[in-house]
Structure 1
Amino acid sequence: MTALRKTKIALTPKTAPFAIRAERASDVVAREALLDACFGDNRHMRSCQRLRDGRAPAEGLSLSAVREGRLVGTVRLWHVSAGGIPALMLGPLAVEASSRQLGLGAALMDHALAAAKARGHRAVILLGDAPYYARFGFSAARTGELSLPGAFERERLLGLEFCDGALDGAWGMITATGAPLPKTKAVRGRKAKALLMPRVA
C-alpha cells in the first residue's frame, strides 16, 4: 500500500492562493472550456472518454480548483470494473497554463486520492505519464493484463492500490459501472486558451 503524498505549496507575492473544493453545477461551462483547451476538439474520442460517456462521476469525487474567483483546474473519478474488480478511473485532470506553476495539479491529485481513500475505495487507475504519476504511487505493476476500449499506450495504463492486493488478478477489459446520467444535452463552454501539464487522459 502506498502512503499518500502531501503537497506543499509555496506562495510568493507573485502567486495567488487557490482553493480546492467540490465541483458545483456553476462550474460546468468553465470546466468544459478548460477541457476543450487542454485536450482539443477530439477529446471526446479518447479511449478513457468511452468509460465516462453517459455516466455520473463517483459521488464526492469531482473537484474544482478556483483561483481569484475563477475555475483553473478540475479532476474527476469514475466507477469502473477492472476485469471484475471494483476500482476508480481518474481523469481528466486539467490545469490552466497560468496556474500550473503553483503546484495545482499535484494538489488536485492529492485531494482526489485522499477523498477516494476516505470513502473506502481500494484502487485507482489512470492513463497518464508514468514518470509524473509515480510520485503519487502509480505504476504499471498491476495493470499489465488490463485493457481499455479503443487504442491506448500500454505503458501509460497505471494503477494505485490503497489496500495491498486490491488489483490482484485484475484481467480483461476495463468497463464503466457508474450510475447512468439522465439523457440531456451536454453543456459546452466556449473555448479558452489553456494548456495541460501534466496530462492525464
Structure 2
Amino acid sequence: EDDSFVEALQALAFGPGRFARTAFRVRERFPIDKTLSLIAEIDGNPVASVWMTPISVGGIDGYLLGPLATDPAYRGRGAGKLLVKEVTRLALARQGVSFVMLVGDEPYYGPLGFAPTTHGAIQFPGPVDPKRVLLHSADQTLALRLAGPIAAFGARKRA
C-alpha cells in the first residue's frame, strides 16, 4: 500500500520527467533503503514521502535524500520539512554515515541544515546543476571537501 501511494504521489508531484532526472539514475544503480523511506500523515491521511539511497563519495558513506514529494493539496503545512528533518536525523545517527546529500533548492533546504558543496566536485551519473547539490553533515567542512563519483555504500578509498 505504501509503495503504491509513493509511486502515485511522485507521479503527481514530478510527472513523467522524474525518470530523466540524474538523481533517479542514482536510485536505479543503488537500491533505496526502505528503513529510511518515510511517509508523513495529516489526520491519518498520507500526504508526503521521502526516499533515502545509501551511497559513497570519495570513500565516505552517506545517503542521497530524495525524492521528497508532498501532495499539492497539503503543501506549505510543514510535512515535507518534518520528513527531511527526521530522515536526516535517523540517517546521521547510523554508524559509519557521515552525510546526507540532495539535489534541491538552497532556500528550502538551507534552513534545515543543508549547505552547498564545492561546485562540480561530486560526480553524478548525468548532468546536475552544481549549485543545487547540498549536504548535511556533523562535520561542517565536509561539504567543501567531499569529492569524487557517487559509488555504492561501503566503497572505500583505495590506498
- 1:32 aligned counterpart, secondary structure: helix
- The match for 2:102 among 126, 132, 138 is 126
Say how many residue pairs are matched.
153
Instruction: Give the superposed CA RMSD.
Output: 2.1
Residue-by-residue CA offset, 1:23-46 (whole Å, 9 max, x unaligned): xxx211111011011111121111
Matches within 5 A, 1:70-81: 70-81=45-56
Residue-by-residue CA offset, 1:111-168 (whole Å, 9 max, x unaligned): 1111112223221110000111110111114565112111111100111112344456
TM-score (norm 1): 0.68
Residue-by-residue CA offset, 1:14-72 (whole Å, 9 max, x unaligned): xxxxxxxxxxxx21111101101111112111101111115332352110112344321
Greater helix content = 2
- 1:80 aligned counterpart, secondary structure: strand
Q: Which has the higher contact order (CA 8 A, sep 6+)?
A: 1
- 2:146 aligned counterpart, secondary structure: coil
Instruction: Name the CA distance, whole Å, in 1 between partners of 2:145 and 2:21.
Output: 26
Query: 2:81 matched to 1:103?
Result: no
Q: 1:122 to 1:146 in 2, by over 3 A?
A: same
Instruction: Name the CA distance, whole Å, in 2 between partners of 1:142 and 1:176.
Output: 21
- The match for 2:22 among 21, 24, 47 is 47
- 1:60 aligned counterpart, secondary structure: helix
Q: 1:137 maps to which residue? A: 113
Greater strand content = 2
After TM superposition, the runs of 4+ consecutive aligned structure 1 residues lying more than 4 A away are 164-168
- Structure 1 gaps of 5+ residues are 1-25, 179-201
Q: 2:157 maps to which residue? A: none
Aligned letter for 2:4? V
Instruction: Name the CA distance, whole Å, in 1 between partners of 2:89 and 2:41.
Output: 19
The answer (yes or no) to whether the contact 1:79–1:87 under 8 Å persists in 2 is yes
- Structure 2 gaps of 5+ residues are 155-159
Q: If you compute each CA radius of gyration, which structure gives the higher value, 1 or 2? A: 1
Percent identity between the two aligned chains: 33
Matches within 5 A, 1:1-201: 26-53=1-28, 55-58=30-33, 60-120=35-95, 121-142=97-118, 144-166=120-142, 169-177=145-153
Aligned letter for 1:138? F
- 1:48 aligned counterpart, secondary structure: helix
